């Protein structure tokens, strides 16, 4: 029986189909496309490889699975013990496909906050044409702290640098080195000392035990008066009640959240009424940008070469670490 690759990607088109079939054939694999996870559950028993937006149920039922390449960057849901039938199954992700689109989102919402764009949208919506008192702010001269200096944080820093910020500091779990786009790279141990010297805090962290609630009420109070917070990682990283309080009191000048708890956010959730909070429905890094789709396919094909050659995966995830 031919070895099989199962593919579940919601952006499938003829072009991607051809690319995947061609690569599969090269390595002796049949490629089977499922329209969604539901139709794959119980029907992917023979798949040695799965690629795409698979649900946990698909993974848990895939008895022959040796490698799952996930289309998302955040794979915390696939890191719990006992999920995979074969405990040695490899896991890789598409971290690296999202930096470009999420960094554009980050620059956009940072400028929207600094320039008070949501208030101007409101003025125009009401038929007005006036200038707000109290001024606006700029990325130029701002002190920026990027919590999570991986692909997303680095791509953001590269773009932010062109605006002439005063300083961009990357914060990583342990390593003190990083991309030259950062003026400085610190470890999480130094975060508390950094916060009072931060005008804009950008959070791009995976969901792990170490990142849950990392921005709590205590750390928000440490942030400089009038600072801004942006989160594109996982909603669990922010104490949402504390954020609402810090915004409503004016200690924070604004925030932008693309990720929240829970998602979808209920229509009557208190976050929707917080002052100067710019919400987006988890779209910073979704697969609606063609570049992100192609990059994700490319990364899978690159690792398919590695896998079939018995080499380590370039985009492997350490399941014990969670990213």
Binding string to its own copies for residues 88 to 127, with x set by CB under 8 A, is what?
Answer: ------------xx--xx-xx--xx-xx-xx-xx-xx--x
User: Residue 208 has which token pair?
Assistant: 């792990």
Which is closer to its own copies, CB of 131 or CB of 309? 131
Q: Which stretch in 20-28, 248-256, 286-294, 312-320 sits in contact with its own copies by CB under 8 A? A: 286-294
Distance between CA atoms of 254 and 242, rounded to whole angstroms? 13
Euclidean distance between CA atoms 55 and 59, whole angstroms = 7
DSSP state of 238: B
Give the nearest distance from C-beta 110 to its own copies in angstroms. 9
Task: Please list every residue from 247 through 266 that binds its own copies, using CB under 8 A.
Answer: 263-265
Question: Is-catalytic flag, 105?
Answer: no
Instruction: Confirm or reject binding of residue 41 to its own copies (CB under 8 A).
Output: no
Per CB under 8 A, the list member of 187, 288, 305, 311 interacting with its own copies is 288
For residue 71, the minimal CB distance to its own copies (Å) is: 14
Closer by beta carbon to its own copies, 101 or else 296: 101
Positive or negative, the CA dihedral 248, 251, 256, 258 is negative
Residue with tokens 């999420």: 102
Whether 195 contacts 169, CB under 8 Å? no
Cβ pair 49, 23 in contact under 8 A: no
d(C-alpha 81, C-alpha 95), whole Å: 22
* 263 is an active site residue: yes
The answer to whether 96 and 299 are in contact (CB under 8 A) is yes
Q: Of these residues, 234, 295, 315, 319, which one is catalytic?
A: 234
DSSP E strands in 129-283: the ranges are 143-147, 167-172, 184-187, 200-203, 227-231, 252-257, 277-279
Decide: 21 and 31 in contact? Cβ < 8 Å.
yes
Residue 282 appears among annotated catalytic residues: yes
Among 282, 298, 302, 308, binds its own copies (CB under 8 A): 282
Sole residue written with tokens 């109290």: 134
Nearer to its own copies, 12 or 30 (CB): 12
Among 88, 267, 309, 320, binds its own copies (CB under 8 A): 267
Six token digits for residue 137: 């702010």
- Report the nearest approach of its own copies to the CB of residue 315 (Å): 20
**Residue 304, both tokens:** 């398919």
Spell out, one character per residue from 134 to 153, where the chain touches its own copies: x when CB under 8 A holds, - when not: xxxxxxxx------------
Binding site for its own copies (CB under 8 A): 100-101, 104-105, 107-108, 111-112, 114-115, 117-118, 120-121, 123-124, 127-132, 134-141, 158-159, 161-164, 263-265, 267-268, 272, 279-283, 286, 288-291
Active site residues per annotation: 234, 263, 282
């Amino acid at each position: 029986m031919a070895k099989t690759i199962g593919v579940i990607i919601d952006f499938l088109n003829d072009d991607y189909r051809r690319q995947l079939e061609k690569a599969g054939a090269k390595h002796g694999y049949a490629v089977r496309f499922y329209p969604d996870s539901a139709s794959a559950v119980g029907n992917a028993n023979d798949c040695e490889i799965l690629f795409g937006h698979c649900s946990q149920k698909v993974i848990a039922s895939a008895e022959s699975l040796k490698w799952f390449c996930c289309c998302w960057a955040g794979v915390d849901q696939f890191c719990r013990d006992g999920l995979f039938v074969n405990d040695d199954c490899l896991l890789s992700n598409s971290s690296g496909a999202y930096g470009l689109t999420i960094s554009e989102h980050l620059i956009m919402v940072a400028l929207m906050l600094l320039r008070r764009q949501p208030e101007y949208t409101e003025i125009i919506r009401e038929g007005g044409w006036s200038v707000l008192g109290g001024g606006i702010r700029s990325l130029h001269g701002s002190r920026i702290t990027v919590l999570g200096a991986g692909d997303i944080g680095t791509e953001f820093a590269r773009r932010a640098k062109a605006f002439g910020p005063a300083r961009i500091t990357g914060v990583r779990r342990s390593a003190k080195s990083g991309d030259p786009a950062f003026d400085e790279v610190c470890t999480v141990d130094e975060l508390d000392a950094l916060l009072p010297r931060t005008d804009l805090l950008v959070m791009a962290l995976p969901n792990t035990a170490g990142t849950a609630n990392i921005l709590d009420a205590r750390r928000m109070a440490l942030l400089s008066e009038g600072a801004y917070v942006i989160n594109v990682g996982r909603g669990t990283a922010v104490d949402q009640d504390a954020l609402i309080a810090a915004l409503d009191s004016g200690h924070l000048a604004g925030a932008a959240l693309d990720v929240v708890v829970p998602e979808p956010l209920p229509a009557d959730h208190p976050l929707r009424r917080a002052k100067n909070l710019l919400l987006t429905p988890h779209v910073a890094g979704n697969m609606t940008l063609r570049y992100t789709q192609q990059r994700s396919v490319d990364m899978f094909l690159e690792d398919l070469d590695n896998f079939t050659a018995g080499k380590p995966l370039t985009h492997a995830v350490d399941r014990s670490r969670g990213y």
